[in-house]
Amino acid sequence: MNPGVIGGIVGAVGGFIGGIIGTYFSIKNTNSPRERSFMVRCAIVVWVGIIVFLGLLFTIPKPYSYLLWILYAILLPTGIRYSNRIQTKIREEDKKAGK
């Protein structure tokens, strides 16, 4: 095995483990059942989205697959801002309700 293949495998495994840890703590650090439910839905959407992205990245022929990165670069920050806004709204509503 050459160093590039080993690095690719180690990087992929490290990224997968990091994603699992990040997902776990994102869900664990919620304050209410409603917020936790929202974070579980977000996690599912993100994991499915990344799996679809990677699947398309490896199946669409080059150089067209590089165009997927443009879509990814738009959707990822937009999705993060949206989910953060909704999570903050849920926390504020729960705080007002005394939960």
How does pLDDT run along the chain (99 residues), one tens digit per residue?
788 899 999 999 999 999 999 999 999 999 999 999 999 999 999 999 999 999 999 999 998 889 999 999 999 999 999 999 999 999 999 988 876
Distance from C-alpha of 80 to C-alpha of 88, rounded to nearest angstrom: 12
- The predicted model scores a pTM of 0.83
Residues 6+ apart with CB under 8 A from 59: 65
Domain that holds residue 52: 3-97
What pLDDT score does 99 carry?
A: 61
* pLDDT value of position 81: 96
Spatial CB neighbours of 64, under 8 Å, sequence gap ≥ 6: none
Total domains present in the chain? 1
